Amino acid sequence: MENYAKLEKVGEGTYGVVYKARDINTGRIVALKKIRLEAEDEGVPSTAIREISLLKELKDDNVVALLDIVHADSKLYLVFEFLDMDLKRYIFVRFSNKPQYYHVYPPNIPRYMETVNSKNGNRGLDKQLIKKFTYQLLAGLRYCHGHRILHRDLKPQNLTDTDENLKLADFGLARAFGIPLRTYTHEVVTLWYRSPEVLLGSRHYSTAIDMWSVGCIVAEMVMHGQPLFPGDSEIDQIFKIFRLLGTPNEEIWPGVSQLPDYKETFPRWSAVELSQTVRESTHKVWILSRQARSHPPHTSTISQPEFSE
């Protein structure tokens, strides 16, 4: 670690502690991810090995860059470009003068408040900025999917921001996928952004689980940082989705009744127009609603002319 000087701890990732650091040779500010080893004799966790192998392959403007790998003192450090803001924090800061939104993200980021608020005057996310972030999110995801990689843990906290540009980060749960679909663990994706097929126990899934997360993230931007489906348990999450989009059946989702955690006793809710939930609805929100209702897991990354303007 003689080439890097730790400056401060900035958080924790999927598998370890994250530090802000300086490259002693170049002066560049970087992010150090120290791998959390469950036991010294077990070596590097498979999640870390997976992220390293994936990030070595990913070279895109909308994907966080892996700069170096350091093994020192029986610890492994991943050196990434440093981006001091994520989308969750960014949304919180943009609405930080509105007390009703304070519960969305803990107010423990004063160093970000002054920077972002001075630039934007607490004016929230305008439609052009939401469109820009959505485009960048989709561009990064299209790149990953084009390289046969699922992210599997998309959420605002894993979308880093620099000068109002988004990059996909934290591939601790990502995995290359092939054809035919493999069987995967269903314990992936933070609950609020988890797709119905994963919640219902499916272990056969594809790019659709990432696209579901994208829809939830875009809705959250439109809704001033309010999560679209803020469930507090898996069953609560499922029911929140069903209450808004309707309880699925074999007619609209062939095969749903065969999923491991599907119950014939589920309440039968009818779909509600998403515009009734997303107050500042636009044509884009209607698109998300339409796609969510036809979600069943064979959807690819969306390509809509509305996002090409």
Active site positions, annotated? 153
Cis bond upstream, residue 107 (ω within 30): no
Phi, psi of 6 (to 5 degrees): -70, 135
Buried b / exposed e over 81-120, threshold 16 CB at 10 Å, is bbbbbbbbbbbbbbbbeeeebeebbeeebeebbeebeeeb
Helix (H, G, I), strand (E, B) or coil at 100: helix
CB atoms within 10 A of CB 147: 14
How far from chain centre, in Å, is Cα 256? 25
Token pair belonging to 172:
């601790």
Token pair belonging to 57:
């392959």
Alpha helix (H) residue ranges in the chain: 46-57, 87-94, 110-120, 127-146, 196-199, 208-222, 234-245, 283-293
Helices and strands: H and E segment counts in the chain = 8, 10
Instruction: Determine the Cα–Cα distance for residues 64 and 160; give it in Å rounded to an integer.
Output: 8
Q: Say if strands 66-72 and 149-150 run parallel, antiparallel, or are unpaired.
A: unpaired
On whether 34 is known to bind a ligand per the annotation, the reply is: no
Token pair belonging to 265:
């006793």
Annotated binding-site positions: 33
Annotated binding-site positions for ATP: 33
